[in-house]
Amino acid sequence: MIKTDALIIGAGPTGLFTAHQLKLIGLDCEIVDNLDKIGGQCIELYPDKPIYDIPAIPECTGEELTNGLIDQLKPFDIKFHLNERVEEVKNNNGKWEVKTNKGTSFNTPNIIIAGGVGSFEPRKFAPKDCEKFEDKSIFYSIKDKKIFKNKTVSVFGGGDSALDWAIELSENSKINLIHRRDEFRGAQSTVDKMNALVKEGKINLYTKYQLKGVKGSENLESIDIEHDNKEVKNLKTDFVLGFFGLIMQLGPIANWGLNLDKKTINVDTEKFETNQKGIYAVGDICKYPGKLKLILSGFHEGALAARACFKLAKPNEKYRFEFTTTSTNLLKRLGKKE
Amino acid sequence: MTKIVYIEHDGKSHSIDVQNGLTVMEGAIQNNVPGIDADCGGSMACATCHVYVKEEWFNKLPKKEDGEEDMLDMAFEPNKFSRLSCQLTVIDELEGLTVQLPSKQA
């Protein structure tokens, strides 16, 4: 069980700056995020898109903003738990006990939810029967590519993931590549490579088709794909891979007894505390009158929530407001003074 | 104000007067029309404000800009009348625009 002054859920820009604020005022914190990398929506949804409304930064991409925030955390020692999703939050004598899906557990007086719109999960196929075969014959990510050797694999999607896997697996597997339109959004060089393999007969390409149904009892046997003009084709296949990017799902947060408003969490605007003492929500996921879903709002909310954490983390000390320009304490924590 | 008609997947219809300049997505969100999530808030980054535009309206809309079709690849059950409602700005000419909502957004 890891003891910490505050646990941050979400390593997006708001979570990162909240960590900065906690460490600056002398509190420990750890960060959990379901993605395999730091940066949240900025890195997952728009790493290359410019952002123009960060104060004092006229223009930066999602990736640049993330890198800047990570740089700003350099003076501090912060443990990240990536690829982990918080599943359970329970109150135990005024402290919160938190468990992730990987079995990591925390004991903390403060939880700051900086979860954006929830955790990123793969987008799945529409037909209901697909669930039955999920993780057996239908996959949304690949852990062990050896299982596809000498089998027929049907790959869906038009981005780099779909194309890269279709190309790579075509060496040892029979590949069907299925996409809903003629254009692919993958890199041009990858599209060219794919087209060459289609000419060589190593990839069977079906465009303007989507998955309509799956067939099989124990194991997947075949799939029906439907053309824009409603024509249906049946393809024998051993495996199906779907690459439709990620979607945000609120997930387990819905079960923690918080006062939710659709996919957001109601908070006060003094501490950004939820209806549960010691649980705060900041950034896109929080809701209060006048809430703006801007990154700069998340920074403000995180700074205030961090101050609120102080009281529960160090009940016998008094928090004193200080400036980084003048405070010896803060400059020491920032590594600028001995 | 321009009238936009949102039809839920089960056929329930919402006729909403939306202020010009807002998007069809914002019109739905501000008036609590269920079935449009708009997780990313309108930055064309999530494909959860996906709608099917009534055929007779589809060609009257401004063409898709770069990136919208790419995002539609990720939408739930897209078809040839699919649009992202965050990219449709409400103007007088759209009086009576009718959009159908998918059974879910993801």
Going residue by residue through chain A, which has 338 residues, state the pLDDT in tens, using 9 for 90 and above. 999 999 999 999 999 999 999 999 999 999 999 999 999 999 988 888 899 999 999 999 999 999 999 999 999 999 999 999 999 999 999 999 999 999 999 999 999 999 998 888 899 999 999 999 999 999 999 988 999 999 999 999 999 999 999 999 999 999 999 999 999 998 999 999 999 999 999 999 999 999 999 999 889 999 999 999 999 999 999 999 999 988 888 889 999 999 998 889 999 999 999 999 999 999 999 999 999 999 999 999 999 999 999 999 999 999 999 999 999 999 999 999 88
Domains and CATH numbers, chain A: 2-121+247-333 (3.50.50.60), 124-244 (3.50.50.60)
- Residue A60 CA to residue A67 CA, distance in Å, equals 10
> Would an 8 Å CB–CB cutoff place A49 in contact with chain B?
yes
Kind plus residue range of the DSSP H or E element containing A152: strand A152-156
Check: CB of residue A57 under 8 Å from CB of residue A30: no
Contact B41 A284 (CB under 8 A): yes
Q: Would you tell me which residues 31-70 of chain B have a C-beta closer than 8 angstroms to some C-beta of chain A?
A: 37, 39-41, 43, 45-46, 48, 69-70
CATH (one of 3.40.50.1000, 3.40.190.10, 3.10.20.30, 2.20.25.90) for B2-100: 3.10.20.30
Report d(CA B52, CA A267) in Å as an integer.
35
pLDDT at A123: 92
Residues lower than pLDDT 70 in chain B: none
- CA–CA distance, B12 with A310 (Å, rounded to integer): 50
Write down the pLDDT at residue A232: 97
Task: Calculate the alpha carbon distances from A146 to A100, A149, A164 in Å.
Answer: 29, 6, 16
Contact B40 A210 (CB under 8 A): no
Helix axes A62-72, A13-24, angle to 10 degrees: 10
Long-range contacts of A128-134 (CB under 8 A, 24+ apart): A129/A213, A129/A214, A130/A211, A130/A214, A130/A240, A132/A214, A133/A214, A133/A216, A133/A220, A133/A240
* Residue A149, pLDDT score: 96
Report d(CA B57, CA A149) in Å as an integer: 48
Q: Of A260, A259, A239, which Cα lies nearest the Cα of A173?
A: A239
The per-residue pLDDT for A48 is: 86
Interchain pair A46, B79: CB under 8 A: no
Does B84 contact chain A (CB < 8 Å)?
A: no
In this prediction, residue B22 carries a pLDDT of 97
User: From the candidates B31, B37, B48, B73, which should be mutated to test the interface with A, based on the most A CB atoms within 10 A?
Assistant: B73
pLDDT at site A317: 96
Contact residues on chain A for B73, CB-CB shorter than 8 A = 157-159, 179-181, 185, 244
Chain A within 8 Å of B76 (Cβ-Cβ)?
A: yes
pLDDT computed for residue A249 by the predictor: 84
- Residues of chain A with Cβ-Cβ distance to B45 below 8 Å are 41, 45-46, 49
Top residue of A42, A244, A285 to mutate, by most chain B CBs within 10 Å, is A244
In chain A, which residue's Cα lies nearest the Cα of B45?
A45
Give how far Cα B75 sits from Cα of A72, A183, B29, B58, B69, Å.
36, 16, 18, 18, 10
What's the pLDDT tens digit per position in A270-311? 999 999 999 999 999 999 999 999 999 999 999 999 999 999
Residue B82's pLDDT is: 97
Q: How confident is the model over B11-26, as pLDDT tens digits?
A: 999 999 999 999 999 9
The pairing of beta strand A174-179 with beta strand A152-156: parallel
Residues from chain A contacting residue B102 (CB–CB below 8 Å): none
pLDDT in the model for residue A45: 81
Count A/B contacts: CB-CB distance under 8 Å.
Answer: 51
Q: Tell me the C-alpha to C-alpha distance, in Å, between residue B101 and each of A246, B9, B71.
A: 20, 5, 17
> What ipTM was assigned to the predicted interfaces of this complex?
0.84
What's the token pair of residue A132?
A: 């039955």
Considering only the beta carbons, identify the residue of A49, A244, A263 that sits closest to B73.
A244
Q: Which of A259, A321, A286 minimizes the C-alpha distance to A10?
A: A286
